[in-house]
Every structure is written in C-alpha cells, then in structure tokens.
Chain A
Amino acid sequence: MKARVYVQLKPGVLDPEASVVSKTLGTMGFDTLSKLDMGKFFDIELDVDSTEKAEATLKEMCEKLLSNTVIENYKIEIQS
C-alpha cells in the first residue's frame, strides 16, 4: 500500500526559512505573493492488506518520529 505523509509547521509557529524564501520571491518581483509556507513529505510503501492498518501504522510513525507534534502537524494520504 502506498501513502504520502505531509509534515508541516503548525500555523503560528515562526518559520524563518519560509519567511526568507517568501521575501526573496517578493524581491524578485513576484508581487502577487501573499503567503508562503513550507513543509516536507514522505512517500511510504507498507506491506499491509487494509487501509485501517496502514493508517494506524503511519499515525504511529508520525507521532514517534516523522513529525514533532510540539511544532508540527502531519497529514496522511493513502494513495493505493
């Protein structure tokens, strides 16, 4: 089973890197830019036979390692 897991800073947590990227795009002339957030994603394949099992495993992976829930949210997308 294939899945994609997105990990992104929670709204309100200052991301200096994203703000620099955003400012640079502004300097380059992209004057319609009003907001930019950054994050990362993981493409994961699991040997399981049910969506429920996949979701449970991925959730545990997110809670224990893939995200730091103090500052980050995660989103799980089962793809097939």
Chain B
Amino acid sequence: MKSAVIVFPGSNCDRDAYVAIRDVLGSEPEMAWHGDSSLEKKDLIIVPGGFSYGDYLRCGSMAANSPLMKEVIKQANEGTKIIGICNGFQILTETGLLPGTLMRNKGLKFICRQIHMRVENNTTSFTRKYADKQVIQVPVAHNEGNYVVEDDVLKSLQDNDQVAFRYCDESGTVNDDTNPNGATDNIAGVLNKNKNILALMPHPERALSKLFGSDDGRGVFESLMG
C-alpha cells in the first residue's frame, strides 16, 4: 500500500502514524512536508494530530490552506483513503472535505485520557475489522473536540451512516454523561459521503499495543488491509 503522513509545523503524532502504518500495514509511509506542492498518488494519506501552526486563528485553519493540502484534497476527491486524527480532524473540516467544525471542549479543559467509543458503522474500509456496536478503548488528547454541526447536516450524517464512532462508556451507553467534550450526538468520528475519508478526535494510532493501555486502535489500520 502506498501511503503518506502529512507533516505540518507543530504536528506531534506524525511519528505515531508512521509507526502504525509500518507495523500494522507493513509498508513505510512517505513523510510528506506540508510546504511541498506535489505528492505521488497514494492509497492512504494520514493527516496527523498535533498543533499545526500553533493552533493560530482556529485549530487547523492554517494547515488546511498549506500547499500540500491542495494535493490531499485532490486525491481525496479521486478516492484516496484519508484519515484525519485529532488536529487532522480539525484540518479536514477546515478544508471542507468534512462537514461541521470542532469547537472548544464544553468543560474548557484539555482532556487527555483513555475513553471508550462505540463503532457505529462497521462496513467501511476503516472499521470493517470491528464488530457492529463494538466498544473500543482509545486515548483522547484535545482542547477543541466539541464537534458542532447544524441540525440538517447532522440528520444527513445520520441518514447516510456517516457517523463512524460515538463516545460511550465501557458498556456502550451513549449519553451526556459519556460525552467528554460536548460533541453533538456524542460524535467521536465521522465519514464523508463516499466513505473514503474518516476523521476522529481519539487516537487509534496511540492504541496499538496493550503496553500503551490498549490495542483497540489496531482495528482501524487492520481494516485497511482488506
């Protein structure tokens, strides 16, 4: 599989994404600098977590307009699989590839801990190794994870099975008490309409081994192997 991880000034999960691809998918991704203007055609591109451009203006807003993102958007529209994680989620919403936006956590605190999320659509290239409604444990580390969408957009997300993951508790209960950041409808991860783009606030690339608390994140990468 030909893959790339986009590196922005301020990315800090790019190496984790690299290791996830190398160890789970068995091939080395290209580490692609955001300032470059061309990128060889890829099967998979990861827009990693971090604090691109120091979160200036709005999280992800500068990165979304960096030169290489034009190429990422082009390949996304041609069907290349894209995963945006944490800051990568924020960047993808800023590009318009995904609807909605990520606002400040409802509790105004940076949240850094293990959470549970429920697999809401296990028929995609990113989730097919999981069981339907499987509860998985992965870490979150963000200040702006409060996913906000307008009501009509939310309805279309629900109607088109574009909600990939919802925050829940260990038993899979989804409600306000199991919502860490105030995200609309407990949404932790969304897909685009064509299901070739997944973006999520939690970090599956940091949950590859029980040594780090959980290996539940492997499923996202194993799913990509087909």
In the complex, per-residue mask of A14-25: 1 if CB is within 8 Å of any chain B CB, else 0: 101100100000
Chain B residues within 8 Å of chain A by Cβ, number: 19
A58 to nearest B CB, angstroms?
A: 16
Write 27 A-B pairs (CB below 8 A) sorted by A numbering.
Answer: A13-B103, A13-B148, A14-B103, A14-B106, A14-B182, A16-B104, A16-B105, A16-B106, A16-B107, A16-B108, A16-B182, A17-B104, A20-B108, A64-B65, A65-B57, A65-B61, A65-B65, A68-B58, A68-B61, A68-B94, A68-B101, A70-B99, A70-B100, A70-B101, A70-B149, A71-B103, A71-B148
B150 at the interface (CB under 8 A from A): yes
B contact patch SS: loop
Chain B residues, CB < 8 A from A71: 101, 103, 148
- Bound together, the chains give a CA A41 to CA B86 distance in angstroms of 27
Of all chain B residues, the one with the shortest Cβ separation from A64 is B65
The number of A-B residue pairs with CB atoms under 8 Å apart is: 33
In the complex, per-residue mask of B51-85: 1 if CB is within 8 Å of any chain A CB, else 0: 00000011001000100000000000000000000
**Chain A contact residues (Cβ within 8 angstroms of B): what range?**
10 to 19
Of all chain B residues, the one with the shortest Cβ separation from A40 is B57
A70 touches B150 (CB 8 A): yes
A19 to nearest B CB, angstroms?
A: 9
- Bound together, the chains give a CA A66 to CA B64 distance in angstroms of 12
Additional A-B contact list (4), CB under 8 Å, known A14-B182, A17-B104, A70-B101? A16-B104, A17-B108, A70-B99, A71-B148
Chain A residues, CB < 8 A from B100: 70
